Amino acid sequence: MHQMDIYLRPTPSIDCDNILIKKTALKLVEHQSKIPDKAKSLFYFVRDTIIYNLYVPSDKIEYFKASRILEMREGFCIQKAVLLTALARAVGIPARIHLSSIRNHLTPAKLKELMRGNLFPTHGYNVSMADENVPLLAAKTSHFTDIFCLILCFLHLGFSTAAAQCGWFLCQ
């Protein structure tokens, strides 16, 4: 088994073998040959067409299934990262989920009160291989955080070049 195989396999949540996931991913990358270009297309699709909604149901594992998230067209950071990971794997890009704690300084007052602060203990994002010649766990991977949709990027960051790139990080 190749060391990247684990990052290409389907799981109960990352159902990259689902027909809807596969069709969607293939359509999004049909005119691209380079992995970074494919990854960006998948990222922009998730960022711009899956509405960021922190209040979607999340109390059952089925709410974290990529094909369901794609059908529902909404989700929060972890759900969007699950979908992006499944889309990447569906087109042969090794990908995984990463969870971390973040402090969100844009947290709405009502949510801040409910959470007793602005610390989100489980922020989810996607880590994908940026180059077919570089291992996923090496320094050159793409870290995608797709928590916002494009309209929220513009609302919070303004209409700038930076806003158009909202959520895309390349760590080298």
Distance of alpha carbon 49 from alpha carbon 71, whole angstroms: 11
Q: Return the closest-CA partner of residue 16 out of 67, 69, 71.
A: 67
| β-pair partners for 168 | 144
Q: Residue 138 corresponds to which amino acid? A: A
55 burial type by CB count under 10 A (0-12 exposed, 13-18 middle, 19+ buried)? exposed
- CB count within 10 Å of CB 60 equals 8
The CA-to-CA distance between both ends of the chain, in Å, stands at 27
| Pairing mode, strands 95-103 and 74-75 | unpaired
Question: Domains in the chain: how many in total?
Answer: 1
pTM score of the predicted model: 0.76
Any long-range contacts for 60-66 (C-beta under 8 Å, 24+ apart)? 61/12, 61/13, 64/13, 65/12, 65/13, 65/15, 66/13, 66/14, 66/15, 66/16, 66/18, 66/21
Domain carrying residue 82:
5-171
pLDDT by 10s per residue, the chain, length 172: 577 789 999 999 999 999 999 999 999 999 999 988 898 899 889 988 999 888 888 889 999 999 999 999 999 888 999 999 999 999 999 998 877 777 777 777 887 887 788 877 776 667 776 555 554 444 344 445 544 555 555 455 554 444 444 444 433 2
CATH code where residue 128 lies: 3.10.620.30
Distance of alpha carbon 64 from alpha carbon 146, whole angstroms: 15
Contact 45, 32 (CB under 8 A): no
